[in-house]
């Protein structure tokens, strides 16, 4: 798993800490991946997709998420959101303070948890 993700405009790097990667019980073709992501001010993911479900809880600060074709939404500490497989989306820390999230992915075994969208 990569330890950093860069935004297309050279924004500050996200710090990604892998916590766990385990097979999904009863579904040998799936695995669960858990991460902590630290978001410096001005950092972001760029447009990307996931090959499975993403569940995110904001632990500290705030993160702005936007699914392609939808309005951006700000999530603050204690709030959660879900991104469905294959949905083009991005997330950013537009605040002047750091943020931290707990992310859980249920993905096809052996696939990366995230794929950048190239346009």
Mark 15-46 as b/e (b = at least 16 C-beta within 10 Å).
bbeeeeeeeeeeeeebbbbebebbbeeebbbb
pLDDT in tens, 48-106: 999 999 999 999 999 999 999 999 999 999 999 999 999 999 999 999 999 999 999 99
Is 51 a member of any domain?
A: yes
Domain CATH code at residue 99: 2.60.120.10
Confidence (pTM): 0.88
The stretch 15-29 carries a mean pLDDT of 96
Is 83 a member of any domain?
A: yes
Is 58 a member of any domain?
A: yes
Question: Mean pLDDT across the chain, nearest whole number?
Answer: 93
Number of domains in the chain: 1
Percent of the chain with pLDDT over 70: 91
pLDDT at 119: 79
Q: Is the pLDDT of residue 2 over 50?
A: no
What are the backbone dihedrals phi and psi of residue 19, each rounded to the nearest 5 degrees, phi first? Answer: -110, -40
Print the domain residue range for 85: 15-113
Could you list the beta-strand ranges (E) of the chain.
Answer: 15-24, 27-39, 48-49, 53-60, 62-67, 73-76, 80-83, 89-92, 99-108, 115-116
Is 97 a member of any domain?
A: yes
Is 5 a member of any domain?
A: no
């Amino acid at each position: 798993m990569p330890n950093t993700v860069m935004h297309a405009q050279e924004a500050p790097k996200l710090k990604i800490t892998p916590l766990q990667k385990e097979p999904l019980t009863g579904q040998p073709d799936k695995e669960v991946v858990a991460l902590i992501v630290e978001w410096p001010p001005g950092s972001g993911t760029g447009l990307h997709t996931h090959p499975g479900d993403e569940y995110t809880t904001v632990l500290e600060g705030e993160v702005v998420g936007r699914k392609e074709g939808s309005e951006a939404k700000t999530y603050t500490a204690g709030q959660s959101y879900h991104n469905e497989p294959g949905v083009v989306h991005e997330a950013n820390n537009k605040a002047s303070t750091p943020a931290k999230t707990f992310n859980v992915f249920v993905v096809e075994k052996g696939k990366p948890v995230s794929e950048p969208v190239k346009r």
